[in-house]
């Protein structure tokens, strides 16, 4: 028995529409949760309140998320930086140290600042939610691995001095984390223009120290 092309196309469209609706629902619930967590704290918000804020029933929330912690974990995976940074390391580097580090830093800070509400929530919740710190730490760990591989390859290409790739990766990562934390804390020293210049100067110093 053959199946018509029109039937296959129709079924694909139905499946696609269903997936889009599910994604849209998930997105709305996560967005509502982040807003409420940022205002009232993780423990000060119920799943019922999150569902109501998103415009759904609590039953709908639990169809998409197993628990409030699972909701926060999915928010971390959706909005943290690992996958966006992966795309940069896989296709956008040109093996010029200064250009590459500036590109990495600029994108890291763009993502960190865009997701500052979520990151503040993670920092505040900390040890109070079992396993959350370890769960969220997967993202900086992934970025560290990207950086280690990058610096090791730069040493192999003799584009930088011979260094311990892991130590340099950690130093670069924490340099940027410190800057990002200061900016998220709304430090008046970190206006947009000043912060942009600070990133460029930090990368220039880092580059100078690694240049043969």
CATH code where residue 45 lies: 1.10.357.10
Distance CA 113, CA 76 (A): 14
Residue 153 is predicted with a pLDDT of 97
Residue 137 is predicted with a pLDDT of 87
In sequence order, which residues have a C-beta less than 8 Å from that of residue 102 and are 6 or more positions away?
Answer: 199, 200, 203
Structural domain span for residue 105: 80-210
Residue 185 is predicted with a pLDDT of 77
Is the separation of the CB atoms in 35 and 57 below 8 Å?
no
- Residue 34: name the closest of 122, 139, 113, 111 by CA: 122
Q: Which residues of 143-159 are buried (b: 16+ CB within 10 A; e: fewer)?
A: bbebbbebbbebbeeeb
Shared domain for 88 and 73, answered yes or no, is: no
**Domain final position from 77, 108, 131:** 77
Shared domain for 88 and 62, answered yes or no, is: no
Longest Cα–Cα distance in the chain: 71
Shared domain for 47 and 140, answered yes or no, is: no
- Residue 99: name the closest of 193, 209, 200 by CA: 200
Shared domain for 99 and 192, answered yes or no, is: yes
Distance CA 147, CA 102 (A): 13
Under DSSP, is residue 170 helix (H, G, I), strand (E, B) or coil?
helix
Shared domain for 113 and 199, answered yes or no, is: yes
Shared domain for 124 and 161, answered yes or no, is: yes
Is the separation of the CB atoms in 53 and 40 below 8 Å?
no
Shared domain for 54 and 147, answered yes or no, is: no
pLDDT of the chain, 212 residues: tens digit per residue:
444 444 444 443 333 334 444 568 999 999 999 999 999 999 999 999 999 999 999 999 999 999 999 999 999 888 778 888 999 999 999 999 999 999 999 999 999 999 898 888 888 887 778 888 888 888 899 999 999 999 999 999 999 999 999 999 999 999 999 999 888 877 777 777 788 999 999 999 999 999 99
Phi, psi of 93 (to 5 degrees): -85, 150
- Residue 95: name the closest of 32, 153, 37, 36 by CA: 153
Token pair of 208 as six digits? 């100078």
This prediction has a pTM of 0.80
Shared domain for 116 and 167, answered yes or no, is: yes
């Amino acid at each position: 028995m053959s199946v018509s092309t029109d039937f296959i196309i129709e079924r694909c469209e139905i499946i696609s529409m269903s997936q889009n609706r599910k994604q849209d629902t998930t997105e709305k619930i996560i967005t509502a949760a982040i807003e409420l967590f940022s205002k009232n704290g993780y423990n000060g918000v119920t799943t019922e309140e999150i569902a109501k804020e998103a415009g759904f029933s609590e039953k709908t929330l639990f169809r998409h998320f197993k628990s409030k912690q699972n909701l926060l974990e999915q928010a971390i995976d959706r909005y943290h930086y690992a996958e966006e940074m992966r795309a940069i390391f896989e296709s956008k580097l040109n093996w010029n140290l200064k250009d590459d580090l500036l590109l990495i830093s600029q994108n890291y800070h763009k993502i960190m600042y865009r997701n500052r509400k979520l990151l503040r929530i993670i920092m505040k919740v900390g040890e109070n939610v079992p396993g959350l710190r370890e769960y969220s730490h997967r993202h900086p760990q992934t970025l560290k691995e990207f950086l280690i591989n990058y610096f090791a390859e730069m040493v192999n290409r003799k584009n930088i001095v011979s260094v311990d790739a892991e130590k340099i990766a950690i130093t670069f990562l924490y340099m940027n984390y410190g800057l990002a934390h200061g900016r998220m804390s709304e430090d008046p020293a970190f206006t947009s223009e000043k912060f942009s210049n600070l990133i460029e100067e930090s990368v220039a110093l880092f580059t100078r120290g690694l240049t043969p």
